[in-house]
Amino acid sequence: MTRARARTLLLAASLLLPTSAALLPACSADKPRRPSAAGVEAPRRNGAPPSAPGSSGNGSAGRPGSTEAAKAGEGPTAPPPPPPTAATPVAASAPAAAAPDTGVLLERFPMPAGLKRVKVEKVVDGDTIWVEGGKKVRYIGINTPERGDPLYEEAKRLNGDLILGKSVYIEPDVEPTDTYGRDLGYIYTEEGLLVNAVLVQRGLAYVYRWHPNTRYADRLLVVQKEARGAHVGIWNLPTPSPERGYYADQKGHVFHRPTCASVRTIPESRRLVFQTRDEALDSGRNPDRECRP
């Protein structure tokens, strides 16, 4: 082959090379990626696969054991949730104690006829009220807890629930008033229920035998003994430490511990001795507020 012929062949080959390269298939590295189901490929973070379609985007789809991961085959299948357990039954609370039967009191303390009818304007405490006409009335035969003592508020509340803003009937006894100028009386509701007795029945008052106003003292003491046996109100409070005996003045209305200073002031001729606290209570006397027997 001549030298001119060789140059001709080389020139022809150089002209054919670009056309041949254009006919070759594209490299696999240059193939476009298949779009995601949403039409746009989601960005990848730290090499993790994109979130599954419909994912909230909080990353739960990529956690092993999650429902989405299990569906996509990206992790182990999560165990089925345990069956719901029955709710733990709540113990039924004990029913509230029934209120004492006031019908018994209607039979034991029938309201006399012809009593004065007045309206209650204010309740001072468990055993004192104001009625129309500016009259202050102290209940006869009972003594409710004083302010600061246990069950003071309960006694006052019950008294108010029974008669505040309502009309009542007042029955006097031997003395119409006390040394403080208060009217004395037994208070009846419009239904004829003796409020003095209700307070004793609910354990919110001691029977207080105050001579000469003792018309219903014995009957009230029966009600008090029943309340004490039922452990209601003041009879459900912790019992004071017992003594070997209790002292009282024959003319007095309270009883004392043997060590109480008040005992020394009682004349020997009037000194009473009770063997038990219940015996002193059954006499119609109240615990002294100083020594609290």
Tally of CA atoms within 13 A in the half-sphere of 87 that contains its CB: 3
Q: Is 168 helix (H, G, I), strand (E, B) or coil?
A: strand
5 pLDDT band (50/70/90 cuts)?
A: low
Q: Which residue, chain included where needed, has tokens 């012809």?
A: 114
Catalytic residues: 138, 146, 182
pLDDT at 103 (0 to 100) = 86
pLDDT at 279 (0 to 100) = 97
Q: Where are the alpha helices (DSSP H) in 139-238?
A: 152-163, 195-201, 217-230
pLDDT at 88 (0 to 100) = 40
Tally of CA atoms within 13 A in the half-sphere of 253 that contains its CB: 14
Q: How far apart are CA 208 and CA 198, in angstroms?
A: 14
DSSP secondary structure of 71-117: HHTSSPPPPPPPPPPPPPPPPPPPPPPPPP-THHHHHHSPPPSS-EE
- Sort residue 34 into left (φ over 0), alpha (ψ -120 to 50) or beta: beta
The pLDDT tens digits of the residues spanning 97-151 come to 456 678 899 999 999 999 999 999 999 999 999 999 999 999 999 999 999 999 9
List the domains of the chain with CATH numbers: 103-235 (2.40.50.90), 246-287 (no CATH)
The pLDDT tens digits of the residues spanning 15-32 come to 444 444 443 444 444 444
Predicted TM-score (pTM) of this structure: 0.67
Q: Is 35 helix (H, G, I), strand (E, B) or coil?
A: coil
